């Protein structure tokens, strides 16, 4: 039996260090002992582990406890949806909207350059960190695309931001659906209400 004391100094120094980093905890569905994790959950974990961009939320850790799975994610004090509806306290000048949309498009460009569609872009799926950086979050509906003619689920996007092809139940679409959602959000930032109320 090896002596535990002999292994203490050989432990990874990164594991010993407490980061004291503020995180957001996202609780996910139960883990079934018979079926394992759902494909969408596995896909989300895999994507978040691989995506590295200033405008994509960072996954700090994944852990489970009592048949629940938790994501420890980079923290943002407010999401874009709450910022939009807070008309009385927060004024959005053209330069603010330009900055928000620029960051949104940079994050989206990174996803599309890596053949990934977000498929559920909406203000509630974007956080703003304390330093004003916008981050895309919630990759539960995200999917890798690239094979021409490949069919996808038509109803993944929240209805207020759903593209015309999805509204007509087309299963043949590409990254343009994310651009449509960005256009709806851009209008919403000006109007401070939905462009198309679902």
The class of domain 78-191 in CATH terms is mainly alpha
Q: 51 in the Ramachandran plot: left (φ > 0), alpha (ψ -120 to 50) or beta?
A: beta
The catalytic residue positions are 120
Does this model's pTM top 0.85? My answer is: no
Residues 74-113 pLDDT 10s: 999 999 999 999 988 889 999 999 999 999 999 999 999 9
Q: For the chain, where do the domains classified as CATH 3.30.200.20 start and end?
A: 4-74
Q: For the chain, where do the domains classified as CATH 1.10.510.10 start and end?
A: 78-191
Residues 146-187 pLDDT 10s: 776 777 777 778 889 998 888 888 888 889 999 999 999 999
The class of domain 4-74 in CATH terms is alpha beta
Distance CA 183, CA 154 (A): 19
């Amino acid at each position: 039996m090896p002596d535990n004391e002999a292994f203490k100094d050989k432990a990874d120094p990164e594991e010993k260090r407490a980061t004291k980093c503020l995180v957001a905890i996202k609780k996910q569905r139960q883990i079934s002992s018979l079926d394992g994790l759902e494909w969408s959950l596995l896909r989300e974990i895999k994507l978040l582990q691989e995506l590295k961009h200033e405008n994509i939320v960072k996954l700090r850790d994944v852990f489970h406890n009592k048949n629940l799975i938790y994501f420890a994610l980079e923290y943002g004090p407010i999401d874009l949806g709450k910022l939009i509806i807070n008309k009385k306290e927060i004024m959005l000048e053209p330069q603010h909207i330009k900055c928000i949309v620029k960051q949104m498009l940079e994050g989206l460009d990174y996803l599309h350059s890596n053949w990934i569609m977000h498929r559920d872009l909406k203000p509630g799926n974007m956080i703003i960190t304390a330093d004003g950086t916008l981050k895309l979050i919630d990759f539960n509906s995200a999917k890798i695309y690239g094979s021409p003619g490949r069919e996808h689920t038509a109803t993944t996007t929240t209805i207020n931001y759903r593209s015309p092809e999805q509204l007509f139940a087309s299963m043949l679409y590409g990254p343009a659906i994310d651009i449509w959602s960005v256009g709806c959000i851009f209008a919403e930032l000006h109007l401070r209400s939905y462009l198309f109320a679902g």
